[in-house]
Amino acid sequence: MAEWGAVLLACGFILFAAVAMILLHTLRRVLLRTEDVLGKAGQEISQLASESKELLVQASATLSLLQSRVEEVEPFCESLRLAGASLTNTLQRADSITKHVAESAMERLERAHRENELRLAEAFRWLDAGLSVWHSFKRQSQPSADDHA
């Protein structure tokens, strides 16, 4: 029986070794696949890193270009702002001058109107007096002209 035990033990050991070999072989294939996947992932990460680096370089160049353009346009914008402020100031002054001119013209017009009213009133009084004298003279001269006819 000891022989059968040794045979069983040897068969068990061989079976255990075969299962261990199959497990190790399966584990090796899994590790090889994992290594392959990790190698591909590493290559893709390297490629992505290089593309990201290129993108960052291009973005940096674009931002530098934009910054230089902004710096070039900034004096123009500042001059436009100053021109706008100057134009606003000029328009305010022109508006003030126009207001003063209009007020002065209205004052002169009103003064001329008052002076003309006084002169016209005096002229109309003289005209009225002259017409009254002429009308009186006409009335007086008509009867004498009727007497001669």
Taking only the tens place, the pLDDT of each residue in 11-35 is 999 999 999 999 999 999 999 999 9
Position 146 confidence tier, pLDDT thresholds 50, 70, 90: low
Instruction: Identify the CA nearest to 79 among candidates 89, 68, 67, 87.
Output: 87
Measured between its terminal Cα atoms, the distance across the chain in Å is: 197
Q: What whole-number distance in Å separates Cα of residue 117 and Cα of residue 128?
A: 16
Q: For residue 83, what pLDDT is reported?
A: 93
Residue 147: pLDDT above 60? no
Instruction: Identify the CA nearest to 110 among candidates 124, 95, 118.
Output: 118
What is the average pLDDT value for the chain, to the nearest integer? 89
Render the burial of 127-144: b for 16+ CB within 10 Å, e for the rest. Answer: eeeeeeeeeeeeeeeeee
